[in-house]
Amino acid sequence: MTFFVKNLQAVDGLISNLYKDISVEEMTKKITELFKLQGYKVIDQQFGNLILEKGSRTKRLILVAFTTYYKFSVTMMQGNENELTVNVFQQSSGMSGGLIGMNQIKTELKRLNFIFSNI
């Protein structure tokens, strides 16, 4: 069962989606399970706030675009009528990987938009 209702905003560095009939705890669990399977390290900071990190920042600085490093923050806000807004923010610019690295971040953000719209 998908809980996704609609994409509120998808601009450079931000994804904002609306979900229905799911709590913050359930969404946190779903995101954690889904992204751990994809190789992300998921850090649960507090109620409704997550950090998704994949790769090594140090390797990215040394090997430039030959390795990947992604970092995104996820915030969840419970709305009225069983609605949940999930925002995904880009936390790394990809500048350490040059133009290739910046393009990798944009591509990964598009991929995340697709994944989050299928939850």
User: 62: burial class by Cβ within 10 Å (0-12, 13-18, 19+)?
Assistant: exposed
pLDDT one-digit tens code per residue, 7-32: 999 888 899 999 999 999 999 999 99
Name the residue among 68, 72, 74, 44 with its Cα closest to residue 56. Answer: 68
pLDDT of residue 6: 95
pTM of the predicted protein model: 0.90
Q: How far is CA 26 from CA 6, 40, 65, 117, in A?
A: 18, 18, 35, 16
Instruction: Determine the residue type at 69.
Output: Y
pLDDT of residue 100: 82
Band (pLDDT 50/70/90 cuts) for residue 107 is: very high
- Check: CB of residue 83 under 8 Å from CB of residue 111: no
DSSP 8-class letter at 117:
T
Distance CA 37, CA 30 (A): 11
Task: Give the domains, in start order, of the chain with CATH numbers.
Answer: 4-116 (3.30.310.80)
